[in-house]
Amino acid sequence: MGNKQKVTITMDEAILKEVDRFSKEHGESRSCLIEEAMKDWKKRKLEKELIEGYRSMAKENAETAEANLEAGLEALR
């Protein structure tokens, strides 16, 4: 990511204990774990937004196709 900045955060003690346990188990720093968690959260959020967008587009496309089919059938009558 480039430049790193030191920050102070406040979190629930139980979560911090879990972060520390996970940190020790995987040989990673707290900072690394929290940074990776944020990257993962951002990725999942973008994926969710893309899925919702494509579903919306599919619905609009289906409605347009239905309207065009009806117009085409009317023209054939």
State residue 1's pLDDT score. Answer: 56
Where is pLDDT greater, at 53 or 30? Answer: 30
Q: Would you place residue 9 in the very low, low, confident or very high pLDDT band (cuts 50, 70, 90)?
A: very high
Cα atoms found within 13 Å of the Cα of residue 43, Cβ hemisphere only = 6
Q: Is the dihedral of CA 22, 26, 28, 32 positive or negative?
A: negative
Q: What is the mean pLDDT of residues 6-26?
A: 95
pLDDT at 39: 96
Q: What's the pLDDT at 42?
A: 95
